[in-house]
Amino acid sequence: MTRGPAGRLPDFPWDTIADARAVASAHRDGIVDLSVGTPIDPTPELARRALADASDAPGYPTTWGTPTLRAAIIGYLTRRWGASGLTDEGVLPLVGTKEFVALLPTLLGVGPGQGVMIPETAYPTYAVGALMAGAAPLPCDDPSRLSTLRPGLVWINSPANPHGAILDADELREWVRAAREVGAVLVSDECYGEFGWDAEPVSVLNPLVNGGSLDGVLAVHSLSKRSNAAGYRAGFVAGDPSIVRTLLEVRKHAGMMLPTPVQAAMAAMLDDQAHVEEQRERYLRRRELLRPALEADGFRIEHSEGSLYLWCTRDEDGRDSLDHLASLGILVAPGDFYGPASRDFVRIALTATDERIAAAVRRLRGES
């Protein structure tokens, strides 16, 4: 554990798989790194053009974003996710979404003596954000427990990282109802929304979920995965305008501004769905190759209805599965990164080139 100004934080989990990385890297045909969900396919040309065209940017950008960007965010959420009632006051660009996840409890004033409800198996930054604010992370997948735990902030994630489960509209409605009942802010992490394979993701911004009211509800979206733009650090939050207004004021004081050229590129990407569909096809193709190869090697795939990962187990400690795959030159993420309930799993990313995925498939089938 390390101590910083925000309190005690866990050790950085990726440092714990250095030995497995070394083993995988020693494979005669090179490592197949399926451990991190980092996009590797090209950023769309339309984004690069927009970035270059806006590169003469001598003045400071605004924290709230340009009117063009705000309109693009609202247009995308309305067209693609059935959002209703969004206005400029209810949207806010972000300098990537990881910083927002980590800082949101602090920005909302959720601190010591309060709790942040997070999924039981979850992206670690939800818990880190609570700890940074001095609040208690409360792992829970049951909305009926909100009335007992009474958190100030509730995170849900669909499609989920790491396991890819997708919440349907009925489940989302129950989370919204329960959060409103206890006066908690409900934040839905929808960064993998474009990648639903076995079920169609639904947004909390859809009136079928929120009853036609955005009160107490936020949705977080990222362009990192949908547009291969992780290096742009481009994301946004949308929902209840009173909460967004609070976030905007704090972020203005802190100078949390998205660069003007990135805002222009972001608007271009949000206005175009064709490149997203092209990327979906890439990931689907890789998924359809990798899944049966893992099953042939003795893995069972659970959940994985969406997102960019396969959630796998051989009914053994995930660290043993990590070592087994490393011996084949394949690096993955052990399930214990995401909570104690997932220690028998590994998370295997689809974010590798077609050539590297093909190499992994051959190794899993014992062909090389």
Tell me the domain boundaries of the chain. Answer: 2-42+275-364, 45-272
Separation of alpha carbons 17 and 307, rounded Å: 23
Q: What angle do CA 279, 164, 325 make, to 5 degrees?
A: 85
Confidence (pTM): 0.93
Predicted pLDDT of residue 356: 97
Please answer whether residues 205 and 211 qualify as being in contact, where contact means their C-beta atoms are separated by less than 8 angstroms: no
Please answer whether residues 305 and 196 qualify as being in contact, where contact means their C-beta atoms are separated by less than 8 angstroms: yes
What percent of the chain shows pLDDT beyond 90? Answer: 93
258, exposed or middle or buried, with CB in 10 Å at 0-12, 13-18, 19+?
Answer: buried
């003596």: which residue's tokens? 113
Sequence-separated (6 or more) residues with CB below 8 Å from residue 360 = 32, 34, 290, 293, 328, 330, 352
Residue 5 confidence (pLDDT) above 70: no
Strand partners, 33: 331
The highest-level CATH class for domain 2-42+275-364 is alpha beta
Question: 243 falls in which pLDDT band (50, 70, 90)?
Answer: very high
Residue 1 confidence (pLDDT) above 90: no
Please answer whether residues 221 and 193 qualify as being in contact, where contact means their C-beta atoms are separated by less than 8 angstroms: yes
Q: Strands 153-157 and 115-118, how do they pair?
A: parallel
Summarize the confidence of residues 31-58 as an average pLDDT: 96
Sequence-separated (6 or more) residues with CB below 8 Å from residue 80 = 273
Sequence-separated (6 or more) residues with CB below 8 Å from residue 213 = 85
Separation of alpha carbons 102 and 245, rounded Å: 19
Q: Say what angle helices 260-270 and 45-53 make with each other, to 10 degrees.
A: 150
- Identical fold at 2-42+275-364 and 45-272? no
Helix, strand or coil for residue 1?
Answer: coil
Please answer whether residues 201 and 193 qualify as being in contact, where contact means their C-beta atoms are separated by less than 8 angstroms: yes
Summarize the confidence of residues 202-217 as an average pLDDT: 98
Least reliable range by pLDDT among 13-27, 269-283, 305-319, 348-362: 13-27
pLDDT in tens, 255-301: 999 999 999 999 999 999 999 999 999 999 999 999 999 999 999 99
Predicted pLDDT of residue 367: 85
Predicted pLDDT of residue 12: 76
Separation of alpha carbons 227 and 92, rounded Å: 19
Sequence-separated (6 or more) residues with CB below 8 Å from residue 148 = none
Question: 8 falls in which pLDDT band (50, 70, 90)?
Answer: low
Residue 368 confidence (pLDDT) above 90: no
Separation of alpha carbons 52 and 34, rounded Å: 32
Please answer whether residues 322 and 299 qualify as being in contact, where contact means their C-beta atoms are separated by less than 8 angstroms: no
Separation of alpha carbons 94 and 359, rounded Å: 37
Predicted pLDDT of residue 13: 76
Task: Provide the CATH number for the domain formed by 45-272 in this structure.
Answer: 3.40.640.10
Residue 157 confidence (pLDDT) above 70: yes
Separation of alpha carbons 314 and 233, rounded Å: 36
Question: 14 falls in which pLDDT band (50, 70, 90)?
Answer: confident
Phi, psi for residue 7 in degrees, rounded to 5:
115, -165
Predicted pLDDT of residue 4: 47
Helices (H), ranges, the chain: 18-25, 45-53, 67-81, 98-107, 125-132, 146-149, 169-182, 207-210, 223-226, 241-254, 260-270, 274-296, 318-327, 354-364
Mean pLDDT of the chain: 95
Summarize the confidence of residues 207-229 as an average pLDDT: 97
Residue 346 confidence (pLDDT) above 80: yes
